[in-house]
Amino acid sequence: MKKLKGGIVALALGLFAASCQSPVTPSLPLNDLLTAPLTVEINGRQFALETALWRNFMPVVTHSETRLVALVFITAVDRQPFPAEIDGTRLWVINGDKVWETTFETEARPRSPQHLDQLEKGADSGPWWDVGTEVEVVVRVTMSGAAPRLLRATKQVIGMIV
C-alpha cells in the first residue's frame, strides 16, 4: 500500500511539474507576438523594452522558488519622465514554440530616482527553462483611450542567481 501511495504522489508531482513547463496557447497568435516592434510611438514619444530574466539558485530557496522571474522596463527613449497614463498589462516570454503568458505582480513607477524614464513591471513563478536560454519578451502597452500596442525585446537570455 505504501508503494502505491508513493507512486501516486510521484506521478502527481511529475504531472504538475510537466504542466508548468508545457507550452500554452497564447491569447494572441504567436506570429503577432514574434513580429511585435522593438519600439512604439505613443503621443509623439518613442518607448522601448528592456528586460532582466533569471532563475534563483541561492542555497536557501526551495525548488518552486527556482522558477523564472521576469522584470521588464518600459523605457522612454527620450529619457524624459515616464508618462503616468501608460502601463504594461500583459507579458509573454517565448522560448521557441513554448510561451509563458502572465500578468504582472509588481510595479515600480518610476523604476527609481535615477530612472524616472522607466516603468518597471515584474512577474514570477514562470517555467523552469534552462539558464542561458535565449527568449523573446513581449509586453502589451496600454494607454487610456488608445488601442493597446505590443512591444518586444529580442534575444533576451535567462540568467541565474547563485
Report domain extents, the chain.
24-161
Phi-psi map region of 18: left, alpha, beta (phi>0 left; psi -120 to 50 alpha): alpha
Q: Tell me the per-residue pLDDT of 7-52, one tens digit each, with 9 for 90 and over.
A: 443 333 333 343 344 457 889 999 999 999 999 999 999 999 999 9
Residue 123: closest CA among 111, 139, 135: 139
- 63 phi and psi angles, rounded to 5 deg: -55, -40
Q: Tell me the per-residue pLDDT of 74-95, one tens digit each, with 9 for 90 and over.
A: 999 999 999 999 999 999 999 9
- Residue 97 CB neighbours (<10 A): 7
DSSP state, residue 146: S
This prediction's pTM: 0.81
Q: Tell me the per-residue pLDDT of 31-40, one tens digit each, with 9 for 90 and over.
A: 999 999 999 9
End-to-end CA distance of the chain: 40
- What single letter denotes the amino acid at residue 135? V
- 146 phi and psi angles, rounded to 5 deg: -130, 155
Question: Among residues of the chain, what percentage have pLDDT more than 70?
Answer: 81
Whether the Cβ atoms of residue 72 and residue 98 lie closer than 8 Å to each other: no
Class of domain 24-161: mainly beta
